[in-house]
Amino acid sequence: MIRKIDDNLLEHIRFQNSRREKDLSKFATKSLDGIRRQPESEDIRSTFNHDSDRIIHSPAYTRYIDKTQVFYLFKNDHITHRVLHVQLVSKIGRHIGRVLGLNEDLIEAIALGHDVGHAPYGHEGESYLSEICKKHGIGAFHHNVQSVRFLGKIEDLNLTLQTLDGILCHDGESYDRSLVPNRDKSWDVFDREIEDKTYNNTELRPMTLEGCLVRIADVISFIGRDIEDAISVGLITRDQVPGICTDTLGDDNREIINTLVIDVIENSYGQDCISFSREVWDALKVLRDFNLNTIYENPRVKTQSEKIKRMFEFMFERFLDDMEKQNVESNIFKHHVKYYKNTG
């Protein structure tokens, strides 16, 4: 039996929640603006806080625990995993959002759910799976689209449009100096954007300023952290980092995060956008290219690429054949289809 709170107390709590949001920025997203596909009455939690709880208790979120960020073939207990990454994005996003007067509950929900659709082996695994999907005529595989599929369709959490839109549009590989929200969205527009991303890789913009902030916080969270991880596994040395980056952003992850956070606050406060200054943005672009060339594309990170690619191809074809033949003894049924039927 699910215990219900006293109706009078519930109304008082809802009133208190809405009153707290009156102090938010005029550009912030209010909880009462949250739109669900299937309307439902909210409980003592605010709308977007409810979204966060649903995400963190989902099987998709639980699977974060074994997903590495960049260094998936290195034995090191201190390398960043995705479960830590999303917490860092949430922490950085909420810290900036609090100063800018944005809705921290929405920021947290988007941040916690933004990477649940990642394939094994990070962006390398995603590229192999995407090639396979396109060969089968179902469009490219994008982890942000898959995140929405997990949370919106497979697990059917009935999350708000604002949360799912922020997850779809987070696109941490897209670097923007300034992001302005595209607020004119509905469920129909959202569904079309999923198709556009899948088949045309269309660049998308979040509908809320909170979604824009999470996209920027995603970059802030990994750009310096990946350097620290690369140093810890002996991939690079600190003195290899370009001087323009260390002079402008800082020498280590702590300084880089501090510089980027302060810069975003100074250039976004009271504005309907999330922005970097030109100087910091130019240094950030150099650091991005440095990470790409010396870390993400480093041959020492990709020593097993052919094996990984063949593994994806074998598993895809095998499980697709099992699904078509309704082979209920296959792991695709035991650990996925039947699992979601039993927990749905």
Residues constituting the chain:
344
- Residue given tokens 């650091």 in the structure block: 287
pLDDT of 87: 94
Is the pLDDT reported for residue 341 higher than 70?
A: no
Is the pLDDT reported for residue 227 higher than 80?
A: yes
Highest mean pLDDT among 13-17, 116-120, 190-194: 190-194
pLDDT tens, residue by residue, 144-166: 999 999 999 999 999 999 999 99
Q: For 132-145, what is the mean pLDDT?
A: 96
pLDDT of 82: 83
Residues 32, 21: Cα–Cα separation, whole Å: 10
pLDDT of 159: 98
Q: For 240-265, what is the mean pLDDT?
A: 97
- Residue given tokens 């074809």 in the structure block: 317
pLDDT tens, residue by residue, 284-314: 999 999 999 999 999 888 888 999 999 999 9
DSSP of 1-67: ------HHHHHHHHHHHHHHGGGS-TTSPPGGG--BSS-----SS-HHHHHHHHHHTSHHHHGGGG-
pLDDT tens, residue by residue, 49-95: 999 999 999 989 988 877 777 767 666 666 777 888 999 999 999 99
Phi, psi at residue 342, to the nearest 5°? -80, -25
pLDDT of 78: 65
Interaxial angle between packed helices 47-56 and 104-113, expressed in degrees from 0 to 180 and rounded to the nearest 10: 20
Q: Which residue has the higher pLDDT, 109 or 4?
A: 109
Residue extents of the structural domains in the chain: 46-227, 306-344
pLDDT of 268: 98
Q: Are 201 and 133 in contact (CB under 8 A)?
A: no
Residues 50, 93: Cα–Cα separation, whole Å: 18
46-227 CATH fold: Hypothetical protein af1432 (1.10.3210)
DSSP of 208-260: SHHHHHHHHHHHHHHHTHHHHHHHHTTS--GGGS-HHHHHHT-SSHHHHHHHH
Is the pLDDT reported for residue 13 higher than 90?
A: no
pLDDT of 65: 78
Q: How confident is the model at residue 337 (pLDDT cuts 50, 70, 90)?
A: confident
